[in-house]
Amino acid sequence: GNSVTQMEGPVTLSEEAFLTINCTYTATGYPSLFWYVQYPGEGLQLLLKATKADDKGSNKGFEATYRKETTSFHLEKGSVQVSDSAVYFCALSPRGYNKLIFGAGTRLAVHP
Amino acid sequence: DAGVIQSPRHEVTEMGQEVTLRCKPISGHDYLFWYRQTMMRGLELLIYFNNNVPIDDSGMPEDRFSAKMPNASFSTLKIQPSEPRDSAVYFCASSLGAGEGADTQYFGPGTRLTVL
């Protein structure tokens, strides 16, 4: 079946620290992979995506690379800001389907 | 574009009452999704529609929940009768039917439901 596993939070960092949030997936075929972000009191927003192996998605300083050999899509940012504090969701969309399968979410708290 | 619109943003009701949540998808999007988010269960897909037709309602928790999409620009999620365990944030999302970016979903701001 299809599933997404991401690291448990909360992740607590100081401003300007390096961020990694791990995400691994199980899927049949070659899914599209996503990171969504949810700021307090808001809906989910697409942060970045990748549709095939070795693709790198990037946005707002965040990056993630589609690694087929390790079935991973880890989210990274070189220098986090307080404004990055949010919940981050990894998700996959099986090829040919318009359905998203989400991980449990990882809460990030960045302190000044 | 205005994005996905949901109403109301907050709803407080008493156990046993009927609750109706509303969603307007992004114009031109063929898919509409209803999700529920709670601390205990995270984000759950309840039902989704393609061209106004329900495709998969396997996530609907029980018969008290029903969803309709009478036209391409409007959907409702109804709970009757409501129970305290239905308290959650309910999100609506929409996506294109085909082509580049078809699998990207755009979420509304959510409706926070509290059942007393």
pLDDT tens digits for range B34-46 = 999 998 888 999 9
**Residue-level length of chain B:** 116
Question: Least CB-CB distance to B109: which of A42, A49, A104?
Answer: A42
Are the beta carbons of A84 and A21 closer than 8 angstroms? no
Give the pair of three-digit tokens for residue A26: 């199980």
Residue A29: what pLDDT? 83
Distance from CA of A100 to the nearest CA of B (A): 8
**B108–A49 C-beta distance less than 8 A:** no
Are the beta carbons of B62 and B36 closer than 8 angstroms? no
User: Within 10 A of A15 (CB to CB), how many other CB atoms are there?
Assistant: 13
**B107–A44 C-beta distance less than 8 A:** yes
| CA-CA-CA-CA dihedral for A61, A59, B89, B37, to nearest 10 | -90
Of B52 and A28, more confident: B52
Q: Is residue A74 within 8 angstroms of chain B, CB to CB?
A: no
pLDDT tens digits for range B46-64 = 999 999 999 999 999 889 9
Q: Tell me the Ramachandran region of residue B28: left when phi exceeds 0, alpha when psi lies from -120 to 50, beta otherwise.
A: left
pLDDT at B33 over 80: yes
